[in-house]
Amino acid sequence: MIREILEYPDPRLREAGKPVAEVTDEIRTLVDDMAETMYAAPGCGLAAPQIGVGLRVFVVDCAAEDEPSELKVFINPEIIEKDGQVVWNEGCLSFPGVTEEIKRAERVKVRALDRDGKTFELEADGLLAVAIQHETDHLNGVLMIDKLNALKKRMMGRKLAKARAEAESPDA
């Protein structure tokens, strides 16, 4: 089922997700809904708080359009190592039509539970590392606008207002 994606400045985006006590069928249904919602948007990552669910769950799929799907599920993720630095032009489904250059770690190691509740560790770089950090931020109530200086925050606010106006115009 496709869920509604909350958009900035919805206050629910600022609420940190609570740990998942047990991976149940209800959690697997949530994961399936999140994947369907992310693909429909379309995006390469979606965290549960972005659909108004206050749990520490996110999904990512960083496969290019011409590649097969590579859906990854992260339940109760913890970034256990970070290395290097990269600036990435990021977008966010909660900030439709807006991208900003954000500084992140170049490589990360993450530990999480998968869709079946099994623990795994993953080392990632490139877009996947950026997506993992971005979605982990969502689980902590941190948004990409929080990574910007005051001037860039104001500019991003204007870009968001412009993108919303264009999306709502009858010519769009």
Pick the catalytic residue: 4, 36, 135, 168? Answer: 135
Q: Is 15 in the active site?
A: no
Structure tokens at 147: 């990574």
Report the catalytic residues.
135
